[in-house]
Amino acid sequence: MSANSADGPRRLDVVLVKSGRTKIRYPAELLHDDGTRVTVRAPWAADGVRDFGFVRFEPGDVLTEHYWRDRWYAVKEVRDARGVRKGWYCDITRPATVSGGELVVEDLDLDLWRSADGTDVRRLDEDEFAASGLATSDPAAAAAALAALDTLELLARRDDFETLLARPCPTARPDE
């Protein structure tokens, strides 16, 4: 089914899992699914305001979220209620899966922020990642997570970040 079918927008529940438990679940509109990358749009799903100091997520914000079935990250473009881009918040995750109306990703604690103007690129939560024990329990996953963070940071600093998201993303696969 195409994401642009005559039946109206297709919905998916985005399910973010952390340490084996659902951290957050929220409905999103499926924009594209080419079999590798899934793109959805959703309003800010948490209650109230989350002020990180360098950016505030708040009611009215809209996130366009890009997930990959073959990459260890998700990239979320954040815009305010007026449509002004705040920047991109990136979660380091295991590759996404889509099944039964759910898009599921496992959060691996590492994050990256890139401001809209590209002047602020920062790695986040490296202390949480170290404390998670992933390097001991699953060294291959820990290495993939760190490599994904390095890749995203390089793209963000080289100003190639938008190119990553601009690649064509055909309509949804018929079997999804």
Kindly report, residue by residue over 99-133, the tens digit of the pLDDT: 999 999 999 999 999 999 999 999 999 999 999 99
| Residues 60, 9: Cα–Cα separation, whole Å | 20
| 30 CB-near residues (< 8 Å, 6+ apart) | 3, 9, 10, 11, 12, 38, 39, 40, 172
Cα-Cα-Cα-Cα torsion 74, 142, 129, 116, nearest 10 degrees, comes to -30
By the 8 A CB rule, do 89 and 78 touch? yes
pLDDT at 9 over 70: no
pLDDT the model gives residue 165: 82
Highest mean pLDDT among 6-10, 139-143, 167-171: 139-143
Structure tokens belonging to residue 147: 């490599």
- Write the single-letter amino acid at 109: D
36 touches 172 (CB < 8 A): no
Residue 170 has pLDDT above 50, yes or no: no
Query: What percent of the chain is predicted at pLDDT more than 70?
Result: 89
Q: What is the mean pLDDT of residues 7-30?
A: 90
Q: Kindly provide the residue ranges of all beta strands, DSSP E only, lying in 19-150, ordered along the sequence.
A: 21-33, 37-43, 50-51, 56-57, 62-68, 73-79, 85-93, 97-99, 102-115, 121-124
Q: Is 166 left (phi over 0), alpha (psi -120 to 50) or beta?
A: alpha
* 94 phi/psi in degrees, rounded to 5: -70, 160
Look-up of token digits 């959703």:
42
